[in-house]
Copies of this chain bind each other. A is one copy, B any other.
Amino acid sequence: MAVHDWQRPLDEMVRARAVEAAQGKAPFDILLTGGQIVDVITGEIRAADIGIIGPMIASVHPSGSRHDAAVMHDLAGRFVTPGFIDTHVHLESSHLLPQHYASVVVPQGTTSVFWDPHELANVLGVEGVRFAVEASRNLPLRCFLQAPSSVPSAPAIEVSGASFDGEAMEQMLAWPEVLGVAEMMDMNGVLNATPRMTSIAHEARRSGKLLEGHARGLTGPRLQGYAAAGIGSDHEITSGEDLLEKLRAGLAIEIRGSHLYVIPDVVGQLIALPHLSSQLMFCTDDVPPDQLLATGGISDVLRRAIAAGLKPVDAIRMATFNAALHLGRHDLGAICPGRLADLLVLDDLASISVTDVFVSGIHAAHAGSMIDPIQAPAIAEPENSVHIAPLDVLDFRLPVRSVTHGEVTLRTIKGVRFSEWSEVRLQVVDGFAVLPPADGPNGDLNLLFLQHRHGLHAGGPQVGLQEGLPRLRGALATTYVHDAHNLLVIGGNPEDMQIAANALIACGGGIAVVQDGRVLAIAKFPFAGMLSSEPPAQVAKDFIALREAADQVVEWKPPYWVFKTLEGLSLACNPFPYLTDLGLADGLLGELVDMEVVAPIARS
């Protein structure tokens, strides 16, 4: 298909041709007739025809008033909207290469994404962001990039593959493809004005570009302080009340689709307000590949927001015009002359049933599929990112320092995502703690293993205790664990854990499920330990196989199923207990913690 060189400025000759065609002095390249335009500016739905020249809209004029065009499409009364803009996404969570990701979301109606390559950066540093830039060039999906601010996201308690400060920001913000600094996850660093977070924010301001937020759980004085630091947005909304406080605090809100219960509460709050602010938009953040294929990205979020009571035109404005405003892209987000021809044709608004997608004036997708295959960019994918020698089964046992034989009290991480510290008293044999039988007291303990994989320090494996899941009948391993993406294994026995870990070390990363010494399922991510080389259908199939295999290993408890659980087990920027590559860590305090209990953890 034609190349979308959208990262280059529009040719002035093309614009001159559009000005001519609009006035009727020349024919259009493409003319869309008989459609009903969703006017995201006025809120109207109105009949109008759209004349296109090259990549841009040249004219929006009364239906049937022009017939001069090289190509005409009769839309037969269907709706036309601007292309959807996903305002905060980590493409990495789809485990797809950008060209594969585009082939899934473009037919669903997403024509632009504001991509924070935070995960790639935490493995590869600035080179990971540069890969994101180069890998998304010429795609039929505009990938605007964010400069990851949180590399690592919890600098005191974990080590990822790189460390960014203001200088790294300055370097990335100078690239035209980068529109701002990504979510400022180190909330404590922002509120305590650490030199690192201050210099990062300073560079964002100096560049005149965006400074995006991550205001998870912030309320009251801490929220005011976070906004006073000049941070302009949040996508970590957990309720309608949370949304209202942050909207009032001046944050632009990227409403996320990832938590099913959030959308109805948020929509209920929004439609009760006197004004539906231009500060509201949508994002996907992290969507696994099977879900991306089955229910969709932004289109699915929109569908659920509409089902919750948001008027379709309002929801569409949020996903288009408001998002373009936030990104400062006045050439996107509305069906008006002078803007880029990113257009969706829909059968029905409420169900967001997209039939056709135009990107930069090119008919890119029809009936859920790309019309032409997307060319892979001519760049080398980043391989060999798992810097760990094969592991021994002993690496997965839990060593005790203070006792060789007898009993010990150890801290456990109780729960997932919203975890808390707990304690357990265990037997010690030969200097290793022993898990009690699965069917007895403390049967809900599992071994947690973390190993630095970036070659930046020589610290060996960290082993800890996770409490609250049934004893795993096997092991799960992954190299995709936010945010440092070290090698994580959870399991009921060291033998299966060793096999799972070594399987991933051998293939350059991925996710593996092991039971009884056998690999039940594996998804291989040879690129940066997080991206597959396979096409979307295969990666989605791998994920379904992983889920099925994982179900054989453990009974999951809602709402955190296999991948949410795995990915949340070391999310040390959040205010909970975690195991990291440096040991047990308290995310709230930002400090490492001894596993062997001497005194309770002081929380001032």
Which 4 pairs of residues, A with B, have the shortest CB-CB distance? A250-B336, A43-B275, A43-B274, A22-B225
Within 8 A of B (CB), among A353-398: none
In the bound complex, CA of A325 to CA of B41 (Å): 15
Bound complex: CA A244 to CA B330 (Å): 19
A202 interface residue, CB < 8 Å from B? yes
A126: shortest Cβ distance to chain B, in Å? 23
Q: Which of A45-93 contact B (CB under 8 A)?
A: 46, 53, 56-61
The interface stretch among A10-18, A283-291, A438-446, A538-546 is: A10-18
Q: Does any Cβ of B come within 8 Å of A504's Cβ?
A: no
Q: Which of B57, B191, B231, B338 contacts A338 (CB 8 A)?
A: B231
A277 at the interface (CB under 8 A from B): yes
| Residues A249 and B60 in contact, CB atoms below 8 Å apart | yes
- Could you tell me which residues of chain A, from 278 to 337, have a CB within 8 Å of some CB in chain B? 278-279, 313-314, 317, 325, 328, 330-331, 334, 336-337
Could you say how many copies of this chain the assembly holds?
Answer: 2
**Chain B residues with CB below 8 A from A225, complex form:** 19-20, 22-23, 59, 337
Q: How far is the CA of A227 from the CA of B247 in the complex (A)?
A: 32
Contacts of A59 in B (CB 8 A): 221, 224-225, 228
Residues of B within 8 A of A603 (CB): none
Q: A41-B247, A250-B338 are in contact. Are A193 and B224 (CB under 8 A)?
A: no
Asked if A42 is an interface residue, CB under 8 A from chain B, the answer is yes
The CA of A22 and the CA of B224, in the complex, are separated in Å by 6
Contacting pair A24 B221 (CB below 8 A): yes
A interface size (C-beta, 8 A): 68
Q: When chains A and B are docked, how far (Å) is the Cα of A277 from the Cα of B60?
A: 19
Q: In the complex, what's the smallest C-beta–C-beta distance from A35 to chain B, in angstroms?
A: 15
Query: Which of B12, B206, B228, B314 is in CB contact (< 8 Å) with A18?
Result: B228
Main secondary structure of the interface of A (DSSP, over half): mixed
CB distance from A154 to the nearest CB of B (A): 20
**Bound form: Cα–Cα A227–B56 in Å:** 12
- Say if the beta carbon of A222 comes within 8 Å of chain B: yes
Cβ–Cβ contact B275 & A229, under 8 A: no
| A230 close to chain B: CB less than 8 A | yes
Smallest Cβ-Cβ distance to A46: which chain B residue:
B248
In the complex, whether A463 has a CB less than 8 A from a CB of chain B is: no
Among residues of B, the one whose C-beta sits closest to the C-beta of A273 is B42
Which of B228, B248, B275, B279 is in CB contact (< 8 Å) with A15?
A: B228
A22 to B249, CA, bound (A): 12
Which of B21, B60, B313, B337 interacts with A274 by CB under 8 Å? B313
Whole-angstrom distance from the CB of A23 to the nearest CB of chain B? 4
* Bound Cα distance A250, B279 (Å): 18
A232, CB-defined interface residue at 8 Å: yes
Considering only residues 226-244 of chain A, those with a C-beta below 8 Å from chain B are 226-232, 244
Nearest-Cβ distance from residue A326 to partner chain B, whole angstroms: 10
| Chain B residues, Cβ within 8 Å of A331 | 230
Residues of B near A228 (CB, < 8 A) are: 15, 18-19, 21-22, 53, 56-59, 337-338
Least CB distance, A149 to chain B, in whole angstroms: 16
Extra pairs beyond A59-B224, A60-B249 (19, CB < 8 Å)? A9-B205, A15-B228, A15-B230, A19-B225, A21-B228, A22-B228, A23-B222, A42-B244, A42-B248, A53-B228, A60-B224, A61-B220, A227-B337, A227-B338, A229-B338, A232-B330, A275-B314, A275-B317, A325-B325
For the complex formed, measure the closest distance between the CB of A499 and the CB atoms of chain B, giving whole angstroms.
Answer: 49
